[in-house]
């Protein structure tokens, strides 16, 4: 018991900043599900078996669209592809933890990865239990947010029409954050001066954003060509092909700027 | 409202869950001895995440049409608000809440 208690006490503080965000976004998700007429068991079950925020929001839309399980499956893989790289860097960390290992993999998200891979765990604290509690706490904040949001949906004094825009707002905010990250990384090692031509400047400022720009334009092109109900799979295919064609250029640009924050090695 | 049957909804959620779990469990089954993954995999892992966010933004706005309804004006205003809030506060919580509330106000009161 003492073992569990010290592990819990160590795991709680680093998860607290996450609680606020999860209550808010889980709450928005619960509220959205209520506004779209789903019983509470839907968002809670989806939270349990998916537990990947963005994808849960997207699944609300998928459930309101024509039945297309294959593209839902493909979309989930592409949207969550970053988990592959979290997994790769946790291969050693999760080793030898018995039944706790599948649980830690099952519950791995951006936030648990960030804590488990960066927080210094005191020697007295059991590492496996520490990570189990980090996961369990993050999940409980998420479920709590969902339940509160869904329940609030029934008693809100105002109309929830337009709440579905939370999906676009969320993804756009993520895009803007990543855009800033890309630019900062570029400025960090922008040491060697380049000749000043307007077009070169433009190219230069676009290069760190190549991924985001390819994602946006491939999707926009396919949306125009295939329409809103069937553009996702072609868009993902076009993106992959574009990245493979541009590989030498993008990899060269990236090496120049050094490895990215350690996640993808 | 949902037009699917309950079973179709269950299959859809299961498909999303399977796809998501594949991304979590695959590294541990493919590289049990922490063998280094192929370079193409690490390269795609570097470039895909930000591109997928771009796809999700387009996905979330896919049904907005400039030729019908309110011509995408409320969406454009809300997007602008999110960009400005992001510039100002650099907080996802503030941007998401501000943009969504602005959109709800617009579609309920201005473009109703």
The separation between CA A34 and the C-alpha centre of its own chain, rounded to angstroms, equals 23
Q: What are the Cα distances from residue B24, in Å, to A32, A75, A94?
A: 26, 15, 13
Closest Cβ opposite residue B53 in set A105, A174, A235 = A174
State pLDDT tens for residues A190-207: 555 555 666 667 767 778
Phi, psi of A259 (to 5 degrees): -70, 155
Instruction: Choose among B47, B20, B26: nearest CA to A87.
Output: B26
Report chain A residues whose CB lies below 8 A from the CB of B43.
Answer: 243, 247, 250-251
Judge contact between A8 and A127, C-beta under 8 A.
no
Q: Answer whether A162 touches B (CB < 8 Å).
A: yes
Q: Which of residues 50-89 of A touch B (CB under 8 A)?
A: 50-52, 54-55, 58-59, 61-64, 66-70, 72-85, 87-88
Q: Would the CB atoms of B86 and A177 count as touching at under 8 Å?
A: yes
Tokens of A206: 């676009």
Look up the ipTM and state it: 0.91
Q: Answer whether A46 touches B (CB < 8 Å).
A: yes
Judge contact between B96 and A173, C-beta under 8 A.
yes
Q: Is the pLDDT of residue B68 over 70?
A: yes
**pLDDT of amino acid A223:** 96
Q: How far apart are CA A218 and CA B58, in angstroms?
A: 10
Instruction: Choose among A189, A251, A230: nearest CA to A72.
Output: A230
**pLDDT of amino acid A197:** 66
What residue ranges of chain A have pLDDT lower than 50? 256-265
Higher pLDDT, B55 or A203: B55
CA dihedral of residues A246, A248, A254, A255 (deg, nearest 10): 180
Judge contact between A64 and B9, C-beta under 8 A.
no
Least CA distance to B18: which residue of chain A?
Answer: A73
Name every residue whose Cβ is closer than 8 Å to that of residue A33 and which is 6 or more positions away in sequence: A40, A42, A43, A60, A146, A149, A150, A153
**pLDDT of amino acid A70:** 94
Name every residue whose Cβ is closer than 8 Å to that of residue A40 and which is 6 or more positions away in sequence: A30, A33, A34, A147, A150, A151
Mean pLDDT (chain B, rounded) = 90
State pLDDT tens for residues B29-45: 987 765 677 888 888 87
**pLDDT of amino acid B38:** 81
Q: How many CB atoms lie within 10 A of CB B28?
A: 19
**pLDDT of amino acid A190:** 53
């Amino acid at each position: 018991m003492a073992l569990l208690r010290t592990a819990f006490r160590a795991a709680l503080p680093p998860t607290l900043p996450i609680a606020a965000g999860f209550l808010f976004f889980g709450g928005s998700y619960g509220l959205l599900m209520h506004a779209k007429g789903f019983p509470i068991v839907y968002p809670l079950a989806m939270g349990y078996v998916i537990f990947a925020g963005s994808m849960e929001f997207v699944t609300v839309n998928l459930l309101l669209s024509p039945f297309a399980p294959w593209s839902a499956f493909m979309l989930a893989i592409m949207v969550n592809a970053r988990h592959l790289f979290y997994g790769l860097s946790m291969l050693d960390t999760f080793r030898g933890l018995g039944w706790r290992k599948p649980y830690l993999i099952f519950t791995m998200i951006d936030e648990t990865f960030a804590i488990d891979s960066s927080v210094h765990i005191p020697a007295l604290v059991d590492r496996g239990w520490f990570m189990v509690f980090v996961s369990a706490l993050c999940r409980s904040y998420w479920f709590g947010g969902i339940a509160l949001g869904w329940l609030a949906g029934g008693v809100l004094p105002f109309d929830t029409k337009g709440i579905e825009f939370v999906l676009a707002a969320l993804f756009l905010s993520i895009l803007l954050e990543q855009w800033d990250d890309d630019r900062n990384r570029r400025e960090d090692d922008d040491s060697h001066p380049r000749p000043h031509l307007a077009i070169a400047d433009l190219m230069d400022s676009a290069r760190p954003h190549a991924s985001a720009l390819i994602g946006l334009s491939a999707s926009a092109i396919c949306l125009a060509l295939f329409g809103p109900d069937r553009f996702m799979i072609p868009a993902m295919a076009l993106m992959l092909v574009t990245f493979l064609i541009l590989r030498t250029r993008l990899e060269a640009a990236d090496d120049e700027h050094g490895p990215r924050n350690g996640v993808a090695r | 409202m949902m037009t699917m049957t309950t079973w179709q909804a269950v299959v859809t959620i299961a498909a999303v869950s399977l796809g998501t779990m594949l991304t979590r469990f695959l590294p541990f089954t493919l590289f049990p001895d922490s063998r280094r993954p192929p370079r193409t995999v690490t390269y795609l892992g570097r470039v895909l995440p930000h591109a997928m966010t771009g796809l999700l933004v387009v996905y979330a706005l896919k049904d907005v049409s400039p030729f019908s309804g309110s011509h995408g004006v409320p969406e454009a205003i809300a997007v602008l608000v999110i960009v400005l809030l992001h510039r100002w506060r650099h907080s996802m919580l503030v941007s998401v809440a501000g943009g969504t509330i602005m959109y709800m106000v617009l579609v309920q009161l201005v473009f109703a």
